[in-house]
Every structure is written in C-alpha cells, then in structure tokens.
Amino acid sequence: MFQFLLTEPIHEAGVRVLEAEGAVRLARGTDEEMLIAELQDIDGAVLRARGRLTRRVLASAPRLKVVGRHGVGVDNIDLDAATALGIQVVNTPHAVTQGVVEHTVALMLDASKRISYADRRTRAGDWDVRYRLSGREQI
C-alpha cells in the first residue's frame, strides 16, 4: 500500500484520488527537520506553497518516488537533487489558468472604473467622489 504525505490540505476530491491508491496523511509541519521526519515512510508527496524539498530532505526520504507540486512553480523543490535520486516531479501548470484570467479581467475592470479607489474614498467619508468619477460608455 502506498503512503502519501500532504504538506498542506488539498481539496477533498484530490484526497479521494490519493486514498484510492493508498493511505494519506497531513504533515505536522513544513520546516526542513519536520519534513525529513515525515517523509521516512512516504512513497509520494504533494507539496503546495509551504515547505521546501531541499537536497537534504529528498536524500532523507528512502521510499519517495514522486512529488506532486499542487500548483504551477517548482521553485521550492530541488529538481537537480530529485533527478539524481530518481524522484519524479510533476506539477499542475494549467490548474490556475481560469482563475488568473478571471483575476486579470477583474483588475482591468477595477482600473477602468476605478472601483477600488471609489470604495476607499467612500469608506473614508468622501461621498462627493461619485461626482468626480464617471464611467466610460461607447455610443
């Protein structure tokens, strides 16, 4: 039975996928010493933003076969060490594409309509801000 370690919580659907293949547990911490201790009997790890899988950490994980980066970047994983140790590293490069696009459109609307500025001014009691700001419409 495979043993999986999550460095941070993930969506329950992801946990179910892992549980179909083995046992899943959540790390008690993400500092280097804790990860070394946690990875001793682990076959696969899912890493999010916290924690770094350094050469020392990876070399101390005798059963580790794969690291899944729950996100785009892999800058918190020593890829050279993983390669040298035969540990596969995968990530989810398109997992956040829709969210990034939505956020970009939201920021464009905010910049165009000055929504954040109007909100800050109104909260500060500047009710006349509504007369200084107006939208742009094409006719």
pLDDT for 117 equals: 94
pLDDT for 139 equals: 63
pLDDT for 107 equals: 96
pLDDT digits 0-9 by tens, 45-60: 999 999 999 999 999 9
DSSP state of 53: B
Strand partners, 2: 22
Across 1-139, the runs of DSSP E, i.e. the strands, are: 2-6, 22-26, 44-47, 66-69, 88-91
CA dihedral 104, 109, 114, 117 (to 10 degrees): -40
What is the mean pLDDT of the segment spanning 47-76? Answer: 95
User: CB-hemisphere CA count at 13 Å for 26?
Assistant: 8
Tokens of 118: 């109007």
pLDDT digits 0-9 by tens, 100-124: 999 999 999 999 889 999 999 999 9
- Cβ atoms of 66 and 88 closer than 8 Å: yes
pLDDT digits 0-9 by tens, 6-38: 999 999 999 999 999 999 999 999 999 999 999
pTM: 0.75
pLDDT for 113 equals: 87
